[in-house]
């Protein structure tokens, strides 16, 4: 089973970027995905997920996380959302939001 990280309150994207760097440099990940682009694509499309509170914060985070992908857009951004999770958490429905947005991608 692969590890998945869901950040429910993204700000700059720094936290996710640090997670991605550690996964990218991990020897086991390197052995499973020896091709650098295939490895980063797998990490960003299958292992990390995030929610940003506003569209502007979302845009900032996407720019920071995907800054290396200079116009190629070879990596999907479908694991990241501009959704304020606080109201969901206050109502005790955060899991419902996660399932709604990521249900087909998480185990």
> What string of H, E and C letters represents the secondary structure of the chain?
CCCCEEEEEECCCHHHHHHHHHHHHCHHHHHHCCCHHHHHHHHHHHHEEEEECCHHHHHHHHHHHCCCCCCCCCCCCCCEEECCCHHHHHCCCHHHHHHHHHCCCCC
Check residue 74 and give its pLDDT.
82
Paired tokens of 55: 């569209």
- The pTM for the full model equals 0.85
Model confidence pLDDT, tens digit, residues 51-77: 999 999 999 999 999 887 665 578 889
pLDDT in tens, 28-44: 999 999 999 899 999 99
């Amino acid at each position: 089973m692969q590890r998945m990280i869901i950040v429910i309150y993204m700000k700059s994207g720094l936290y996710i970027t640090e997670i991605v760097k550690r996964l990218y440099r991990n020897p086991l990940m390197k052995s499973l995905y020896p091709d650098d682009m295939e490895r980063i694509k797998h990490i960003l499309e299958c292992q990390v997920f995030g929610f940003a509170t506003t569209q502007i914060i979302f845009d900032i985070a996407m720019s920071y996380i995907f800054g290396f992908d200079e116009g190629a857009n070879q990596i999907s951004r479908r694991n990241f959302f501009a959704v304020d999770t606080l109201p969901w958490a206050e109502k005790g429905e955060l899991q419902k939001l996660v399932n709604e947005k990521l249900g087909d991608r998480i185990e």
